[in-house]
Amino acid sequence: MALLTFTVRRFLAMILILWIVLTIVFAMARLSPYDPIAQIMQQHYQVAQAAQIRHEFGLDQPMWKQYLNYVGGLLHGDLGKSESQQTLGQPVWSLLQHGVPVTMKLGFYALVLSLVVGLPVGLLSAIKQNSFVDHGSQAIMMVLYAVPVFVLVPLAQVVIGVQLRWLPVTGWGAPGVLGFKEAILPVTLYAAGLTGYFAKSYRSFLLEVLSQDYIRTARAKGLKARIILYIHAVKNTLVPLASIVGPVVAYLITGAFVIETFFGIPGIGYITVESIFNSDYSVIEATTLLLAAFVVLVNFLTDVVYALVDPRVRL
């Protein structure tokens, strides 16, 4: 019962935060000195025509009405209209909708790869603490974690893609091309930083758990080392793992922007960066809302999972 009240309360808080987030985005867009109409028309600016476009976008209405229209539109899944010259008046969602599955797929592959590599490496260096294996693998993981993705990507493109010509550097996600070869470089480089982060964090989580009294008790009563590790210790590292969900999500989002831009993968990061170059601010606003909603949703789910595994949180 306590879990249900907790979940409902968290859910209401999530809705409230989403509302505040969209209000802030709306306020920023309206406070900006930038005039989309002037941008669209540029040197062909005519007062009558400008007024007509302004009317079509609903920008001639009073501010409170614009706000209601905006919120009402969002409730109906309308993220606004494009403001760039090429795609003027098209719904923003029609520009973004093809990018969402691409970005999600890319992020999912990278996340799985980094978990599959990072956690076992962290586990190995924890059980062989202070050995050669530990120091060696932790040094490699430290470099993977610390070298920023926006440096790794262009350097890898120069060496592997251009000098050695082993792997293609573009093409993934383009219509018709969903090849394995095109995916190797972007997914690996996307996963590199996360792998290092998981390996480093998991090592310290496991060491923390292994130093606890109940592990000593288990050892003292003669349980096999393997059972202690996999049944007793690993299970209890899942709770601290939930605490790094926030940084991981932040990494996935910035990483999506960088990877998609450098590799020309048409996900929402790439579309948003393109719209920055085209001064299409409605797309940037929509992406901000989508990603903020994603973060709020992940935070909500993390809280609920936390409450499920650790009853003390529900208070």
Partner 1 sequence: MAQDRLPSRSLSHSEAEIELGAAEPLAADEADSFASTQISSPTRDAWRRFRRNKAAIIGLTVIVLMMIMAVFAPFMHTSDPTVPDPNVINGGPSPIHWFGTDYVGRDGYSRIVYGLRVPLIVGFIGTAITVIIGTLVGLIAGYVGRTIDSLLSRFTDIMFAFPGFILALIVVSLFGAAADSFGMGGAGRVLLLTVVFAAVGWPPLMRFVRSLALTMKEQQFVEAARTAGSRDWGIMRRHLLPNMWGLVLVQGAFIVVATISNETILSIFGLTVQQPNPDLGSMLFFGVQNIDNSYWQVVFPGVVLAILILALTFLADGIRDAVDPRARG
Looking at the DSSP bridge assignments, the partners of residue 30 are none
Q: Is 42 an interacting residue with respect to partner 1 (CB under 8 A)?
A: no
Q: Is 123 an interacting residue with respect to partner 1 (CB under 8 A)?
A: no
CB of 310 to partner 1, least distance (A): 17
- Residue 145 or 183: the one with the smaller Cβ distance to partner 1 is 145
Given candidates 61, 236, 278, 299, which one binds partner 1 under the rule CB under 8 A?
A: 299
- CB contact at 8 A, 216 and 274: no
Q: Is 151 an interacting residue with respect to partner 1 (CB under 8 A)?
A: yes
**C-alpha pair distances (Å), 81 with each of 65, 93, 281:** 17, 8, 10
In the block, which residue shows the tokens 């992940």?
Answer: 298
- Alpha-carbon distance of 128 to 126, in angstroms, equals 5
Q: Which two tokens stand for residue 102?
A: 């691409």
- Alpha-carbon distance of 249 to 284, in angstroms, equals 19
Q: Is 100 an interacting residue with respect to partner 1 (CB under 8 A)?
A: no
Q: Is 200 an interacting residue with respect to partner 1 (CB under 8 A)?
A: yes
CB of 231 to partner 1, least distance (A): 25
CB of 201 to partner 1, least distance (A): 7
- Of residues 134, 130, 153, 152, the one with CA closest to residue 143: 152
- Residue 1 or 315: the one with the smaller Cβ distance to partner 1 is 315
- Alpha-carbon distance of 143 to 196, in angstroms, equals 8
CB of 124 to partner 1, least distance (A): 15
- Alpha-carbon distance of 272 to 254, in angstroms, equals 12
Given candidates 184, 295, 305, 313, which one binds partner 1 under the rule CB under 8 A?
A: 295
Question: In which region does residue 286 sit, left (phi positive, over 0), alpha (psi from -120 to 50) or beta (all else)?
Answer: alpha
Burial class (CB in 10 A: 0-12, 13-18, 19+), 292: middle
Q: Footprint of partner 1 on residues 240-279 (CB under 8 A)?
A: 249-250, 253-254, 257-258, 261-262, 272-273, 276-277
Q: Is 211 an interacting residue with respect to partner 1 (CB under 8 A)?
A: no
CB of 204 to partner 1, least distance (A): 4
Q: Map residue 175 onto helix, strand or coil.
A: coil
Given candidates 100, 147, 242, 244, which one binds partner 1 under the rule CB under 8 A?
A: 147
Q: Which span (77-85, 158-166, 177-185, 220-228) binds partner 1, by CB under 8 A?
A: 158-166
- Alpha-carbon distance of 222 to 216, in angstroms, equals 10
Looking at the DSSP bridge assignments, the partners of residue 81 are 91
- Alpha-carbon distance of 133 to 19, in angstroms, equals 50
Q: Write out the residues near partner 1 by the rule CB under 8 A.
A: 13, 17-18, 20-21, 24-25, 28-29, 32-34, 142-143, 145-148, 150-151, 154-155, 157-158, 161-163, 169, 200-201, 203-204, 249-250, 253-254, 257-258, 261-262, 272-273, 276-277, 281, 284-285, 287-288, 291-292, 295-296, 299
